[in-house]
């Protein structure tokens, strides 16, 4: 069966359908999904708030961590950090922390009374003009032998006891006398130290060649070996001491005097500038250069091998190029060390006397080497000539 609707009726029927559709859209079936969307919307802000709180906590923790870390300029090993109990930083603590921070120096270059200026502070602790404050030896002289320029000096004006540095002069006299180095020399009771009562590893009756005796006297500072060399000089000990003083005059050592060959007597004296001349004379004799810089030497004493080592540990350091070396010690002289070393392709004389300990004299030598290598000091009496220019002349 078919029904025919006229146009007005069709329009009315379509209108009813539209109304039914609108009513259905607002029915409870659709409304059931609405609360879920609302809950999601409500939860999202809550999650955002929680994330915000976490972010704030993280920020606070970051701030706390930053308070616990010392300033970047603070030296390693002495960094100041916040209390382990995380106590808040007070104004007083903040002030102390700030004062402990090391800052680059902006102070102008200083000058001492001699007019020597400082270009900066080196790792060797060069801090004041014309002086190396970290060098602790009482008597210091550093001289560039190529130009005869004095790079640094302290208390170098007078002659003073030089202890076993005396043995360099002993060796020069022996070498220049052209005595056979293969001749055998025996240690006797006459070689026992009755002045300082020092010990020796050369028992009475030990027989060694003149070469070995000189080797041990220079390298290990063996007093009995040095004394035996003097005794076996033509004319005996009296002639030997006279030859020592005559050689000093020939070398231009006008402030020096010798009374025996070992250095045990405090009457063996020389000025630092005389010791520079002694180093130069020693360096010109190959045997002395070799023996003073050998690391160790073995000889037979009392029927068994005995190993002797150098008294200057720096000869074992591959970063040093040492041409002549001699240590010394008696109470009146303090710890002593003289060396000719090659630094910055220049021969340098380093004289260190009257130090407080063995470690002090070696440490001072290391600091001087660093000081010269880093060329941080402006040298020259007028304060205008740089150390770099001096070392490259």
Question: Are the C-beta atoms of residues 278 and 184 closer than 8 Å to each other?
Answer: no
**299 contacts: CB under 8 Å, gap ≥ 6:** 208, 212, 216, 305, 306, 308
d(CA 11, CA 27): 25
d(CA 271, CA 257): 10
Task: Give the angle 258-260-261 at the CA atoms, nearest 5°.
Answer: 100
CB burial of 170-201 (b: ≥16 within 10 Å; e: otherwise) equals bbbbbbeeebeeeeebebeeebeeeebebebb
Q: Catalytic site residue 167? A: yes
Q: Catalytic site residue 221? A: yes
**Catalytic residue (choose from 131, 137, 153, 167):** 167
Question: Are the C-beta atoms of residues 212 and 171 closer than 8 Å to each other?
Answer: no
**Catalytic residue (choose from 131, 137, 153, 164):** 164
**Catalytic residue (choose from 131, 200, 221, 282):** 221
Q: Catalytic site residue 21? A: no
Give me the active site residues, please.
164, 167, 221
């Amino acid at each position: 069966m078919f029904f025919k609707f006229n146009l007005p009726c069709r329009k009315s029927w379509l209108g009813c359908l539209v109304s039914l559709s609108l009513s259905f859209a607002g029915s409870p079936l659709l409304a059931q999904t609405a609360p879920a969307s609302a809950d999601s919307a409500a939860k999202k802000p809550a999650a955002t708030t929680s994330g915000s709180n976490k972010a704030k906590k993280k920020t606070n923790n970051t701030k706390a961590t930053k308070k616990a870390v010392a300033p970047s300029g603070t030296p390693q090993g002495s960094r100041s950090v916040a209390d382990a109990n995380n106590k808040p930083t007070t104004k007083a603590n903040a002030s102390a922390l700030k004062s402990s921070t090391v800052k680059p120096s902006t102070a102008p270059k200083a000058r001492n009374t001699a007019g020597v200026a400082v270009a900066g502070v080196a790792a060797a602790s060069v801090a004041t003009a014309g002086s190396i404050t970290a060098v602790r030896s009482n008597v210091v002289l550093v001289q560039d032998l190529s130009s005869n320029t004095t790079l640094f000096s302290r208390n170098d004006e007078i002659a003073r006891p030089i202890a076993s540095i005396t043995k360099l002069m002993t060796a020069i006299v022996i070498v220049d006398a052209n005595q056979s180095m293969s001749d055998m020399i025996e240690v006797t009771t006459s070689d026992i130290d009755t002045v300082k009562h020092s010990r020796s590893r050369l028992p009475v009756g030990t027989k060694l060649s003149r070469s070995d005796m000189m080797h041990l006297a220079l390298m290990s500072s063996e007093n009995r070996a040095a004394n035996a060399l003097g005794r076996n000089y033509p004319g005996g000990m009296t002639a030997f001491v006279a030859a020592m003083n005559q050689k000093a005059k020939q070398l231009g050592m006008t402030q020096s005097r010798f009374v025996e060959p070992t250095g045990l007597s405090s009457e063996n004296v020389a000025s630092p500038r005389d010791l520079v001349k002694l180093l130069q004379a020693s360096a010109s004799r190959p045997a002395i250069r070799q023996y003073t810089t050998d690391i160790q030497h073995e000889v037979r004493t009392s029927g068994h091998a005995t190993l002797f080592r150098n008294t200057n540990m720096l000869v074992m350091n591959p970063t040093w190029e040492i041409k002549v070396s001699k240590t010394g010690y008696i109470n009146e002289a303090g710890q002593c060390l003289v060396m000719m070393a090659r630094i910055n392709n220049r021969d340098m004389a380093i004289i260190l006397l009257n130090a407080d300990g063995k470690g002090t004299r070696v440490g001072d030598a290391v600091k001087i080497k660093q000081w010269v290598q880093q060329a941080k000091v402006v040298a020259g009496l007028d304060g205008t000539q740089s150390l770099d220019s001096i070392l490259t002349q």
